[in-house]
Structures are given as C-alpha cells and as structure tokens.
Amino acid sequence: MIAAFDVKYFDDGTALCGAVVFQYFTDKKPHSQYRKKIGSAEDYVPGLFYKRELPCIISLLDDMPEKLGTIVVDGYVRLGDCPGLGGHLKRSLANDVTVIGVAKSQFKGASAVEVYRGNSRKPLYVTSAGIDQQDAAKYVRQMHGENRIPVLLKMVDRLTRK
C-alpha cells in the first residue's frame, strides 16, 4: 500500500496530520483516509522543517493499520548532501519502506527530477529513497488527474485543512 501525508499547522500551536492510502499510483480514489490532531507542534525553524513535520507523520503512522510499502511526503527526501523530511522519515523507520518526496518549489542544491503534469509550466520536484528517482518521478507522473498536483495529493492537502 501507498500513503501520502500532509500536515497543516494552526496559530494555536496545534497541527492536523492527514494521510490518504491507495494501492496503485494510478488510483482515482483512496482506499482509506486518516486524520489526527497533534496537540503541540514544534515551531518552524528554517532549515529544520523535518523537526516540525516528522513527529506528526510518525504519530499518525503509528495509528494506521495498513502495512505500507511506499510513503509520499510533501517535501524533499534529500536537500543536496543533507537529508530532507523524507530522508529523516526513511531513517526513522525500521523497515524497508520506500519514501518519495514531492515538492512544489525548487530547493537550491537539491537534485530532484522535474515532473511536468497536465498543462502546467511549473514542475513538481521529485526525490526518493529506496527507489530510483527516475522511477519515483514516473510514478508521480502517472498519478490520476490532469493538473499539476495529482488528485490524491490534493485530497490529502484538503483533508488537513478541514
């Protein structure tokens, strides 16, 4: 199974982590959806985004019954020579899960594969761990939807904004 995660932060210091689970990258609808309120989220520190996001994702992962083979995060797996959110997630998991990072903006120094979807002139930036980046980019390109952001990734974003 594959799960895409996103986290939304609120002014009161709380966060809402969401995940959509699906079987194939081409799926139009999720197999299941999860949301979890996080009572106290870390403050944002430039360059240390993972310290804010990772505990939220791990907390929701611990509650999910599915065995995941791939996790998709909103961000980078590698930031040049340093691990990004996805790299820290991969390192923190004690199994052979694949992690794919899908970022909407370019990070200078990161070697991501640019994926153009639909009629968009702006790419998505795909990085990965446990899978070749070109293969990860191919999967993101195949995801359902005609727009820049695949339908299931939009869905998890909306799930955290409710």
Closest CA relative to residue 53, chosen from 43, 63, 62: 43
Does the pLDDT of residue 143 top 70, yes or no?
yes
pLDDT-above-90 percentage for the chain: 77
- 46 — pLDDT class (breaks 50, 70, 90): low
Q: Is the pLDDT of residue 48 over 80?
A: no
Q: Assign domain 2-159 to its CATH architecture.
A: 2-Layer Sandwich (3.30)
Q: CA torsion angle for 46, 159, 147, 125 (degrees, to 10)?
A: 30
Cβ(64)–Cβ(38) under 8 Å?
A: no
Helices (H), 23-145: 49-63, 85-92, 133-142
Closest CA to 75 of 95, 36, 48, 93: 48
Locate the domains of the chain by residue range.
Answer: 2-159
Examine the pLDDT at 60 and tell me if it is beyond 80.
yes
Residue 129 forms beta bridges with which residues?
99
Q: Is 24's pLDDT higher than 70?
A: yes
